[in-house]
Structure formats: C-alpha cells, structure tokens
Amino acid sequence: MEFQPNVISSQPEVIVTQYDRSAGLSEWSSNLCDCCEDCGICLCAAFVPCILACKVAQDNGDSCCIPFLPGAMIALRTSMRSRYNISGSVCDDWLVMACLPLCGLCQMAREQRMRG
C-alpha cells in the first residue's frame, strides 16, 4: 500500500457582512444637564447616589452590586445605549461617567423611566 497525501485544491471562502449600525439610532430622551427635569431623580442622585445607581442597574437587568465595581457605570451606560439603540461610543460613555457621573446617572434613570 502506498501512502498518498491529501491534496487541497481550493481554499475556504470567507464572506464578510457589514451592518450599518447608524440606521435607526436614536438620541437620549433628555440632555445630560437636564437634571432638574425630574426632581425626584435629581434629589436621589444628590443625596444617595448609590441607591439610584442600584436601581438603574437592576432596571437594566444587572446586579445591584454592579455600580460598586470600578468602571462598571461606564459599562452600564454602554449597555443601556445598546439596549435602547442610542447613538454614541464607549469613549463618550467614559467621558460622561468620569467627568459628570451624577448627571450621567440621572440621565440614565430618566431614560429608563421614559422608556419603562
């Protein structure tokens, strides 16, 4: 018996599909600095932000402990943008939550209330 190597005569084809993520994107229902638009959310963020952050995380389907992990609020904001198909980027989310975390938290809470 002779050994005959397998000969490959063609390469597998790769098909690349591109999706246009910009189609159907929406915006936040309120601006970042519209904190006084909902006084209850604003007061909660001002005096007990950890409670508001837990509620926002739970309403997003995440654990109440998520807000206490480093960088998790950025991930939560990104997750919310993805869920509601809101335009933006991870860089935008980082900038908001690093520079204006309470305003960002209020905006996320208002968005959930408006869409809930």
Cα(59)–Cα(61) distance, rounded to whole angstroms? 5
Weakly modelled stretches of the chain, pLDDT under 50: none
Q: Which two tokens stand for residue 13?
A: 């084809």
Asked whether the beta carbons of 104 and 97 are under 8 A apart, the reply is: yes
* Per-residue model confidence (pLDDT) at position 42: 95
CB atoms closer than 10 angstroms to residue 36: 10
Asked whether the beta carbons of 53 and 109 are under 8 A apart, the reply is: no
Cα(116)–Cα(110) distance, rounded to whole angstroms? 10
